[in-house]
Amino acid sequence: KMGKKARGGAKTSTQATSAAKSVEGSTGGGQKSSELLQKQWISPKFERVLLQIFNRFDLDGNGRLSVDELQGFAKVCNGGEIFSQDELEQIEQCFDTDDCGGLTKRGFFQMYHMQTTARPEDTWKDLKALGYTETLELLGDVAPADAQDNKASVNLTHTAASPESGPPLEAARAELRDALFALREAPEEVAAHLRVAAALEALGRGDAAARSRQQAEALVAKARE
């Protein structure tokens, strides 16, 4: 799950980033992906929850999750387990980050959108570990982070989503999930990194695509040594 692996994308695959597995319509106990997704993106209520979660782990309040802050998030979601170095690299490679490699709010949204599309049950497990009920309410004994206004959430959604919509966008997202699966199975394959780069480029994530190509070039250089 995302706390452990971005198996989205980003447990893209989130698992991370690894954020992708075959999509299930619902999980046990009546938990449905429709509670979390709406019109091919994150539902308004889930947006607010994700902002609360992001702010809860953004300890210095700088608008990005550093490695230490991401590991704190992973520990809560996964009973003390943290991301591996490969998983951290996949998160940076596949989701929106700043110049220092910190995961932005947009990247956090991308990561959970991919996981929830591919495997909603993992998202529900994360939410339960983070203190949320099946109605996306925070349990009373868990203190929420300072709330941000809904307008900021909506703006994040529109920025994170591609301006395109409909079947072409869904096909591009499906290709990214498949590419991340292939990368997880063969992280040393140059072709796997290039496939991820192409999928990211198709979704308008040029910076992330460039990082994937750099990974591929590094593997080629290593093979020549």
Cα–Cα distance for residue pair 101/66, rounded to 1 Å? 7
What does the angle CA 36 – CA 119 – CA 132 come to, to the nearest 5 degrees? 45
Q: What band does 118 get if pLDDT is binned at 50, 70 and 90?
A: confident
More confident position, 202 or 14: 202
Cα–Cα distance for residue pair 122/114, rounded to 1 Å? 11
Q: What band does 4 get if pLDDT is binned at 50, 70 and 90?
A: low
Containing 64, the helix (H) or strand (E) segment is: strand 64-65
Residue 38 in this model has a pLDDT that exceeds 70: yes
Residue 27 in this model has a pLDDT that exceeds 50: no
**What residues contact 106, with CB distance under 8 A and at least 6 apart?**
96, 156, 159, 160
Tell me the two tokens of residue 209.
């695509």
Cα–Cα distance for residue pair 148/108, rounded to 1 Å? 15
Residue 75, pLDDT score: 95
Looking at every residue in the chain, the average pLDDT score rounds to 77
Residue 171, pLDDT score: 80
The pTM assigned to this predicted structure is: 0.65
Percentage of residues in the chain having pLDDT higher than 90:
32
More confident position, 115 or 12: 115
Dihedral over Cα of 128, 95, 146, 69: its sign? positive
